[in-house]
């Protein structure tokens, strides 16, 4: 049976075994709000594949890079912000493409310039 990426299906003991860590480590990550597994009505933790991938990232940062849990929290929050901004940029690019294809903004009134990794869109008003 194939499960969805976000579907909570793994017990804490299974996740601990998969990642070769102690279940207390997983509980600590939850206390630190680094991961939020789902819970059954009986309060049993269930982890999704997304949770496992996030824990792998946390382990890589702590083990290989020597980052403490407070640093991991900051890095993960920044990563989420960057992901949100990238999504917003993608949506704005689609809007600009639609505007150009429907000619809702005349080409002589819009200017798109590339600066570093960000695109800047300037609309002239008359």
SS (HEC) of the chain: CCCCCCCCCEEHHHHHHHHCCCHHHHHHHHHCCCCCCEECCCCCEEECHHHHHHHHHHHHHHHCCCCCHHHHHHHHHHHHHHHHHHHHHHHHHHHHHHHHHHCCCCHHHEEEEEECCEEEEEECCC
For residues 12 and 101, the model is more confident at 12
Share of the chain above pLDDT 70, in %: 81
Q: Domain of 102?
A: 74-126
Number of domains within the chain: 2
Taking 80 as the threshold, does the pLDDT of residue 10 lie above it? yes
Residue 100: what pLDDT?
79
Domain end position, chosen among 29, 51, 67: 67
CATH code for the domain in which residue 11 is found: 1.10.1660.10
Asked if 78 and 63 sit in the same domain, the reply is: no
Asked if 108 and 80 sit in the same domain, the reply is: yes
**Span 29-53, pLDDT tens digits:** 999 999 999 999 999 999 999 999 9
**Span 16-32, pLDDT tens digits:** 999 999 999 999 999 99
Asked if 61 and 103 sit in the same domain, the reply is: no
Asked if 38 and 54 sit in the same domain, the reply is: yes
């Amino acid at each position: 049976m194939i499960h969805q990426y976000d579907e909570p299906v793994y017990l804490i003991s299974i996740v601990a075994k998969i990642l070769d860590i102690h279940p207390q480590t997983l509980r600590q990550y939850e206390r630190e709000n680094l991961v939020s597994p789902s819970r059954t009505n009986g309060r049993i933790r269930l982890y999704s594949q997304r949770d496992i991938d996030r824990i792998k990232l946390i382990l890589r940062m702590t083990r290989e890079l020597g980052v403490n849990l407070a640093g991991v929290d900051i890095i993960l929050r920044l990563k989420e912000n960057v992901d949100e901004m990238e999504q917003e940029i993608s949506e704005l690019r689609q809007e600009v493409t639609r505007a150009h294809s429907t000619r809702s903004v005349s080409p002589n009134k819009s200017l798109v310039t590339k600066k570093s990794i960000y695109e800047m869109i300037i609309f002239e008003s008359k």
